[in-house]
Structure 1
């Protein structure tokens, strides 16, 4: 009883509320409170208010306290966030009667029961509860109960209740907001009238997006941010290009009319539709240094730009000029992602991107997310497109605050934008704004929305625009007159008409000129024949780098088995064919860092290597502490970053793509656990990596390391789908290599690093599994110093005299090593030779012609592969080889037949088929294999 008497009035009520929470979930209160309640039983007595001397029923106090907590935690379900006026779902817990209290009861309770900023502005609990309803169930709804950190929850509560991020009452700011909304709306109306039915994916209904982004950028710039990167799909993109990125009206209007790309074209250029394009602007404001803003180009694959933007933001935040992991500064950039309300819960890459937000290799100090919520996906109602109440509910699982706001309430929207920036700046975490509006037209402007949503569009047809709503409010406040508001509309319309007239006049003059004869495109130079090979490296320097890689602090104790394996490299570097694949890779990385080129590499288990081959990050066997030899190498002149990635392909690869486009001088590598898994990122490969240069003039130099090779491990651990990359290769857009020796891989990596500045292109490498430790793939120190990378590789000293050869086997990849190890070539007696095509695209025509010319008595050429006939390189290589072979030569295929699956599921079947392929290629006749 003595403990109970320490608490009076509302404090006693609060104690009872805590006790109820403890009974429901002991972990919901702190440890000290748990200990107290474990030995305590509440009495059922009347409690006196020590301040007023009045008798207060504890149950009333508890009910009031619980109501206040519910308003703060669940007020959002009663918030009026739909501009079209639909009733919110509500919750019984938000009602007085459900807590056993009445309005009269609340009027009896003192103000400080509220406990927070509101309490200082009200006379009693009744007044405070009403103020809380306005804050938490008005035009803004706050979701914070998913956040585990009390400081964050309390910060948001204080921000909401204090109103410190409220929109300025300054009349200049209010007029400025009207001017912005006038530009946004009038621009859309002009396009609608001038280009009826043309797709533009209008922003109308969520016009406040532009002022919201304005507010975030302004606050970010004032807070010291030095770059902003933005990603969004097509909805509202043209308006954002015009009014956030400052793209001239004339440029946009010319794209609607008849765009002229002739001044920008090069071989392979295709351009893209107007609502996929990106732009860059230098932001300037009084007192703020110049800050670039970039809107990244994006295909129609809605949310796939998300990790691209985050990757770009990370690249902007890192300084990579010193050895070790790059130095990071979150002030260097801010990522803003604009999502669709149907796509946010519907596209898995959203969850993948959110999952990376707090991981060491991927965090950017918080991304500001905005859901452009028009309450409909194409023609699908939200009830049919998600299984959650809100479009934003996915974000709750990542402990980020979610703030819903009515897009027809400009002041609420600006307040939320300011708070979002301040939260991100303070906590370096993601935050999401759910901007709830509507879509004035159909999915596109040629669409009829009333076919599928007649009742919604009846409301929209008669609903005023947010510009009209704000203009009327400013008229009511006496800030402007109706005539002044209308004059603003007419002024923007006049500017747009002048821009359009200029575009038409230019095109009229262009049409009056005599046609010019088009010049044929210049032939593509084979970049492998250009003078951008890596500089030769001496044996002495490689030996020094090798020693540096093997150096350890005396106190560091690696796993004994691993230490023995690594220390053997001190001797094997001198041995004939003593350098394994991973050893050559480590030496290549060391040489690249010594040349001053930073490296970033990520992938699933890439620190150790899927096949326990890499071990570039070591762990002390006693303490678990990490040690990265490449960070402590005295020769290093740049940063080296290696991270294990989450179990994701699409988002991680997209992140690295974005990083590589924003850090063009950095060698960026992504490694799949098995090459087959790259198909989980096919959208990124198809739409960004191979086509980005043609569509958007973007030049990444990302390296994809894809383990590939048939060892009988089944359909999902054999093929990196070489055929897909070769099908996508055109107009010098990528490089596709299938090297078979450690030295070839060493030279290829150094070549790619050297090409970053002069000829950047994505490099797709089919990397090995079983060849990682195969002696026939090993190389000698002299092979590493000899260089450069050879697109076509012969047998060297082991080859028979060329005049004795009548049958030449061409192949690519691991199957060549299988053939060399089989003994079949020796049994052929010198009449058969083997040549490996190590670089498949660009097609090494020059090297292959020179190779073929060395065989004067050749009768037959065979293309051998281990992949099925409808996969691998055959469909790509056959017409190209046929074009350079003499007419008298027989040319045929040897390999697996066509198949729906990439490989056999049983090792025994694989072994028999592999043996058949090798024998048939050498014998030149069909060899049957008994199964």
Structure 2
């Protein structure tokens, strides 16, 4: 034997193996405290070590940096075995066995060898724990049997010192596995059946003892076999007939057409039925689904209840919407649907969220929709059980897409809780053409869920009863503990990634196996026939009846015409579609000045005894003075008044983002903190007893999942002002998929409106390429067909009005709002209170302050004498204004374009008609290849032609084209600013 082999053998056999180290430390500490408390062999060993007693005790206690009160105290002595606390177990078991032996000694039963019985119990508990921890690795999960069976020494009783002679000796278990006493044979049989058949369970990573105990109670014991009634088994079979029959029918009638079929994963359908049924019994009133393309058409028809004739109409090229409803549409395997299902007299509303092909990005959208619906239902914040998010996934995407982990990160945060989501992985064991060993580093695709202690049920898709049972436990766990749970269904993909793909190019062995593998329906049919539940004739008749129904639906699909689009139903009733042209509706956004002053009086006071920070106290005093005097209203005050007026009108206001409570730039302070005990006080929630709720949330450090969540919230709640705020606008591109696939195009593709506001701090102040630009150009590039609004305001009053306008019109459009940084405290960037007053509104273009404000240093010449009109947007207006004043120029007019899209063409024509001889310049602080220039230039050319301007094209003044958004050198920044101002004003 080589030295390496000898070392390996020693490591496997020695009691000094690392896995037993903590056990040895505990025994050693017990020996030091009381040598007689351990066996004689251990006494001799510990005496030979001659360590300091204090060191022994420290080793047993663990490191000083270890988490306090960890691990959690077990519910009873024996369940400490779950955490491997063998010293405690041995002591507890020995005491109980000794007590029982003493009681027996008084009777007629034979005496008990307490030491032997204690060793048996501890070893048996170690074996049970091994099954609980590692049994899933040895379960029969893969229908194809692609991977060789694992070595399972850890589950071999011999590993724990048992021999064949011990199999029928009674062992004290104290009701572990539901047995007070059990033989080793019984223990192994129960553990094998529970953990190593077609379902494998991971739950010992859960730190909550009650949750672990609940799972054990549901699955362990001599009477806990997976079993269904005769009617239940027949119902499972019927759903498999529907699922498989649908896929085969589509393959026959629409050969080669992409449908991303469920072939190989049909057990998903009866599992979803179980979730709906059991969920309805446990208080679920609505389920919001999110899923990828795989199996979507099957879910739409067999679960959601979409008429087959409607789907077949779409297969033939028809639209999913009535002819009079405009929109670009989408492929059928991206579309959503909604319906009502009833089980056991419980009505459950189902909605499937439309989504793009970008895998997993729908997950946070679903969670946001669910949160909004729970708020509408009035769910208790700590429960949120009435609406269930049910997310389906592919195995490669679940492991590969980071947004999955972000969603788990959201799951127990105050502003994002949904009472737990159910995640169902359709584990095809392949991602397009890539095997799991090349697409993830973890044993299972579900391992990411362990970050939040979610239980994970691995299950063989060819055992539909096990799949349905796992679904039942999952929904029960969610309803009881209000946390996520994962089902990982091992199955296969019978065809390629799509029906026109040839998978044998890259997976020849796998697809040879699949070609010879019977379908789940065939396997389950034989099982029910063998059990006498159904006859072969009954099954054949059920298949024929289903085929006849599909044939009839195909025929009906020929003349099918959609007669209803549901996009303006329910909460959306009464809303209207905006015109394709520039929308003239301003909405009533002005508020009576007296009402604004009353609000100001309330939001600038704190409760008696509340110890606010002295700087914040001064901030509140200044706000009170500004509102009372009616002058000097800054941006944060304009925002606060917009929020509070909407709250008093009964609207909910939800603001979410990194550091949004205080504001990145210390400008908001909408949550105040007592400086002694950190008690929180939110002034905006103390306006009136019947006001709407103000919810401001410091989000986790993520853009993608948080923005997706807020977008989802707006899909379900059109009457709330829902805002996502980037810490800096530069970081918004971390969520680019949401902007591209949902926010800018969701209404046109899927007929789903959104009133989401995105606040993106933007402005060039010498802070470098990562803290200057929200990439305005990218948002403008996405603008078309009246799909959203892009606004770059320059005054607090316009900021106030544009926020209120979101809820004061009969349309809902996303609002991309470039918000200020240095302007938050700029002396010129303030408004008067009467500019927020009744009969005022949002201005899409704004005049030159030198023309309208009194006491300005520059007196502009008459319109017909004006040499130049400089159009601009955002902070650069104030740079231009101050530079013009410094140079004493009076023949250059500064016209602000506050709304960049929809472009205010009529207003621009009207204003520019004043300046017959003026040159028109577009000035921006962004580089030439960024900002608004390339977007606005053709519009301005049209305007100049309309007004008959002498120059038919505008001139550009701004930074030269650049690869980076901004320079990181202050000296270069200032030089560039000087150059662009000179270009605009010279």
Task: Give the TM-score of the pair, scaled to structure 2.
Answer: 0.86
SS of 1:775 mapped into structure 2: coil
Q: Measure the CA separation in 2 of the matches of 1:154 and 1:329.
A: 20
| Residue 92 (structure 1) shift | 2.8
After superposition, the Cα gap between the structure-2 partners of 1:89 and 1:558, relative to the gap in structure 1 and judged at 3 Å, is farther
SS of 2:385 mapped into structure 1: helix
Alignment counterpart, residue 373 of structure 1, candidates 427, 441, 466 = 427
SS of 1:777 mapped into structure 2: coil
1:418 aligned partner: 472
| Residue 7 (structure 1) shift | 12
Instruction: Show CA shifts across 1:329-374 (max 9, x none).
Output: 6132011011110001100000000100000000111111111101
After superposition, the Cα gap between the structure-2 partners of 1:7 and 1:229, relative to the gap in structure 1 and judged at 3 Å, is farther
After superposition, the Cα gap between the structure-2 partners of 1:67 and 1:41, relative to the gap in structure 1 and judged at 3 Å, is closer
1:797 aligned partner: 852
Q: Is the aligned partner of 1:784 residue 2:836?
A: yes
| Residue 22 (structure 1) shift | 6.6
1:834 aligned partner: 894
Alignment counterpart, residue 415 of structure 2, candidates 356, 361, 380 = 361
2:364 aligned partner: 307
2:924 aligned partner: 865
Q: Where do 1:875-886 residues align within 5 Å? A: 875-885=934-944, 886=948
Alignment counterpart, residue 547 of structure 1, candidates 597, 601, 614 = 601
Q: Measure the CA separation in 2 of the matches of 1:660 and 1:211.
A: 32
Q: Measure the CA separation in 1 of the matches of 2:425 and 2:149.
A: 18
After superposition, the Cα gap between the structure-2 partners of 1:918 and 1:266, relative to the gap in structure 1 and judged at 3 Å, is farther
SS of 2:250 mapped into structure 1: helix
2:47 aligned partner: none
| Residue 61 (structure 1) shift | 4.5
Instruction: Show CA shifts across 1:560-583 (max 9, x none).
Output: 111111112121224574111001
Q: Is the aligned partner of 1:232 residue 2:291?
A: yes
Judge which range, 220-229 or 184-193, deviates more: 220-229
Please give the root-mean-square deviation of Cα atoms over the aligned residues, in Å. Answer: 2.9
Instruction: Show CA shifts across 1:412-456 (max 9, x none).
Output: 111111111111111111110101111111110101111111111
Q: Is the aligned partner of 1:898 residue 2:956?
A: no
Alignment counterpart, residue 133 of structure 2, candidates 73, 78, 88 = 73
Does structure 1 retain, via aligned residues, the 8 Å contact 2:263–2:493? yes
Does structure 1 retain, via aligned residues, the 8 Å contact 2:843–2:898? yes
Q: Where do 1:593-672 residues align within 5 Å? A: 593-634=647-688, 637-672=691-726
Does structure 2 retain, via aligned residues, the 8 Å contact 1:602–1:643? yes
| Residue 169 (structure 1) shift | 3.4
SS of 1:445 mapped into structure 2: coil
Q: Measure the CA separation in 2 of the matches of 1:793 and 1:679.
A: 29
2:491 aligned partner: 437
Q: Is the aligned partner of 1:394 residue 2:439?
A: no
> How many pairs align?
884
Does structure 1 retain, via aligned residues, the 8 Å contact 2:367–2:389? yes
Alignment counterpart, residue 119 of structure 1, candidates 144, 168, 179 = 179
Q: Measure the CA separation in 2 of the matches of 1:718 and 1:44.
A: 69
2:616 aligned partner: 562
| Residue 498 (structure 1) shift | 1.4
Long gaps (5+) in structure 2 = 1-30, 40-56, 105-109, 562-576, 854-858
Q: Is the aligned partner of 1:525 residue 2:584?
A: no
Q: Measure the CA separation in 1 of the matches of 2:357 and 2:316.
A: 21
2:234 aligned partner: 175
After superposition, the Cα gap between the structure-2 partners of 1:193 and 1:24, relative to the gap in structure 1 and judged at 3 Å, is farther
After superposition, the Cα gap between the structure-2 partners of 1:328 and 1:148, relative to the gap in structure 1 and judged at 3 Å, is closer
After superposition, the Cα gap between the structure-2 partners of 1:200 and 1:593, relative to the gap in structure 1 and judged at 3 Å, is same
SS of 1:633 mapped into structure 2: coil
Does structure 2 retain, via aligned residues, the 8 Å contact 1:809–1:861? yes
Q: Measure the CA separation in 1 of the matches of 2:377 and 2:232.
A: 41
Q: Measure the CA separation in 1 of the matches of 2:687 and 2:91.
A: 65
Judge which range, 653-662 or 82-91, deviates more: 82-91
Q: Measure the CA separation in 2 of the matches of 1:76 and 1:88.
A: 12
Does structure 2 retain, via aligned residues, the 8 Å contact 1:705–1:767? yes
Q: Measure the CA separation in 2 of the matches of 1:89 and 1:745.
A: 64
1:282 aligned partner: 340
Q: Is the aligned partner of 1:771 residue 2:850?
A: no
SS of 2:557 mapped into structure 1: helix
After superposition, the Cα gap between the structure-2 partners of 1:815 and 1:392, relative to the gap in structure 1 and judged at 3 Å, is same
| Residue 28 (structure 1) shift | 4.5
Task: Give the TM-score of the pair, scaled to structure 1.
Answer: 0.90
SS of 1:281 mapped into structure 2: strand
| Residue 506 (structure 1) shift | 5.9
SS of 2:322 mapped into structure 1: helix
Does structure 1 retain, via aligned residues, the 8 Å contact 2:194–2:225? no
1:95 aligned partner: 156
Q: Measure the CA separation in 2 of the matches of 1:113 and 1:262.
A: 63
Does structure 2 retain, via aligned residues, the 8 Å contact 1:118–1:132? no
Instruction: Show CA shifts across 1:716-744 (max 9, x none).
Output: 11110111111101111100000011111
Q: Measure the CA separation in 2 of the matches of 1:162 and 1:36.
A: 22
Judge which range, 627-636 or 386-395, deviates more: 627-636
Alignment counterpart, residue 220 of structure 2, candidates 146, 161, 181 = 161
| Residue 803 (structure 1) shift | 2.5
Does structure 1 retain, via aligned residues, the 8 Å contact 2:369–2:716? yes
Long gaps (5+) in structure 1 = 9-18, 508-520, 924-931
1:516 aligned partner: none
